[in-house]
Amino acid sequence: MSGDQKEARNVSGTVVSNKMDKSITVLVERRIKHPIYGKYIKRSKKIMAHDAENQCHEGDLVTIQESKPISKRKAWTLNTIVKRAVEI
């Protein structure tokens, strides 16, 4: 890698919406330590990601990768589907 390129970030989360065409919404949760009390707290964020083949369903555990901006709210792409949601 050359000096000016960075490694793209990868995060994992759960698909909470796949109602859009070629887009999914992923809920990413992380645990941070409270600066004073030391207790671990959950922080979550919903990220829009590009799903080119519309292969994700709600409840799937996925990893997404940072990319160049695709639209106004999408700057992440689907990397892999780690675990499929159970179908009822």
Two tokens at 78? 């689907």
Write the pLDDT tens digit of every residue in 16-57.
Answer: 999 999 999 999 999 999 999 999 999 999 999 999 999 999
pLDDT > 90 fraction of the chain, expressed in percent and rounded: 86
- Tell me the domains of the chain and their CATH numbers: 10-83 (2.40.50.140)
Q: Which long-range contacts (CB under 8 A, 24 or more apart) does 77-83 make?
A: 77/49, 77/50, 77/52, 78/24, 78/49, 78/50, 78/51, 78/52, 79/10, 81/55, 81/56, 82/12
Q: Cα separation of 34 and 39, whole Å?
A: 5
Give the three-state DSSP class for 5: coil
